[in-house]
Structure 1
């Protein structure tokens, strides 16, 4: 049985699929704090965990603004 052309994003993804989903490399993906699930002998990424990680990232400028605010209030 060959690979099917899916019209939806699968819930569980291999490292290459998860890396592509997050638009990053497999090396970077493996260094991120994203848990993997066990599916038989395979280690897979859950799309919901990938989405949660992406949602937790700061928007451009937010990190700088938070750091600047921390400096102002800490004196």
Structure 2
């Protein structure tokens, strides 16, 4: 996805997104972010505050 959409997806500004050094893919002359990479980045962030135990499925 393009930078504006990727930034919105993870809840940061475009300028912050560009400082995160996330991988981008080439789509013709454009550079886009892969949602899987954005999800992996967000999943690796630490939790803030208490975390409830998740039920085992």
Mark yes or no: TM-score above 0.5: yes
Equivalent position to 2:9, from 21, 27, 51: 21
Could you say which structure has the larger radius of gyration?
Answer: 1
Structure whose residues are more often helix by fraction? 1
Segments of structure 1 that go 5 or more residues without pairing to the other structure are 1-12, 62-75
1:57 corresponding residue in structure 2: 45
1:33 Cα shift?
Answer: 2.6
TM-score, scaled to structure 2:
0.81
- After the TM superposition, which parts of structure 1 deviate over 2 Å for at least 4 consecutive aligned residues? none
2:25 corresponding residue in structure 1: 37
Number of aligned positions between the proteins? 50
Greater relative CO, 1 or 2 (CA 8 Å, sep 6+): 2
Q: Alignment RMSD, CA only?
A: 1.4
TM-score, scaled to structure 1:
0.63
